[in-house]
Structure 1
């Protein structure tokens, strides 16, 4: 959108004139971003921008957004890029919950680059045993693009819907979520898994993704989903090159301006392996953790990860460094 100014809060670990999203990070200055112009550091922003940046976020699945939360990945699929078919999803649930996952994200369809779509019945059959087994362990998010799958998952006990298409794939999904009164994560993706990495292009990836998420939020609200039930995910690796991913991650605090909690899913992704020289996905935990810690410093609330125990340890150390002893003991 030519001529529009965007304001990215510049986080600081201690103090700050304002609190970012009512959370653990403050800021006193902002980066003013305009298409086609260099960034400018400013000391203030319009009142509506500051209101969106500073308003405390509503709880997600009963979890306060005043501290970082870990979402454990449970792939009930035979072909996910990192761990498809390598464990029993039901047995994996307890290990993730015991390790510190605050939310369990259960999916039955791989959305890795090049993956083919599967039918709703197959996807539903894969996830329902895991959702039922997760009762009493942690709140369950269902990772699906499809209304029929979400409906079955909600009936089985899921308390959140995580849609990697951002309501682009199945027009009926918005109505299902609106009727359920549950939270919805809207992710940005360019294209479908079959072709999204063929040749992704943007005018300005950071700002293009902001605009696209803003449009998806408006669509969700028009369908009856309140903004305080919406989470946003910039979709790292979904129709984005390595350079695109890094541009978003360097300035991810921009997306607090949407007024919603931010979910980040970078766990074990291919660009981490290339940069970190770790070819097998399971060897990419250190690189993933580095990006998670950097995002926590920018106030990102929810981190979707495979390696929950390692991330939980990092969160305890960060809490101790920030003199939050009560959180460090948890």
Structure 2
């Protein structure tokens, strides 16, 4: 069988993806027996190894912060000097304080409203209409990328499996994949906006139009790594394994669940990790243009605001975006290891 998506360079699997950015402590030697007591010397050796592994990343971060603090005051912008690490950290604390104050104001609003309803001076309950805080927008972005990622996975995995099992189907969709894969989210956004606006006509929809638009744009831009990796992994299954399935006269569902999926699972999860990273990057641009409450809109609003704290707040948002992307990748890696452990068990 010809390799799926022959014109597309295969995406690295979990065995080839370099993952040395964050060193991890590895316990050496053979696993101890259940009855054997813990040896303090081994624990101290593992702790020392972990400390040595963390030394280089910590030094690199401190060197970057020192260089940032030295060079930032020398860069003048229309809003003043470029903020240093301390100014950015101060704005992070200020954003957290704003979130706490907003929660207190919301609690007071609902408490006063409940009191008025109980006293009979108000008949209808209203929702709190305060502006979203930075943390609220972080949660909105996470919900948006989660919906887009789930839609992309549900769409990409079945098509990738079909392309890996059928060379004819693979050849049929390969040109479409090559054309659609490099399309920018900025090009998808007007099309998605018009389609969603024409589809969702309710005055009070269950999901806001801007939220749906951002999620669909994330889906359209992030599904390709999962689709390609699934097709490559499915096409790479050992042919002897498939022949065994034919000898056993397995049905298509049994063949899919017992042979195809377990063998291609590492490829699928690698594609999902890449898709989640792409989706998180695409989300910011989609939120900026769709004006969906989220980190992208927060950055755009601060840019339009032009206050003396805006630049520091934007830089803090950039750091948060990077940290969230890193954590999402670690979470997907943990899910991948858990699924692979069950597969091998």
Q: Same fold (TM over 0.5)?
A: no
Quick check: which one's strand share is greater?
1
Specify which structure has the bigger relative contact order, considering alpha-carbon pairs within 8 angstroms and separated by 6 or more residues: 2
Quick check: which one's helix share is greater?
2
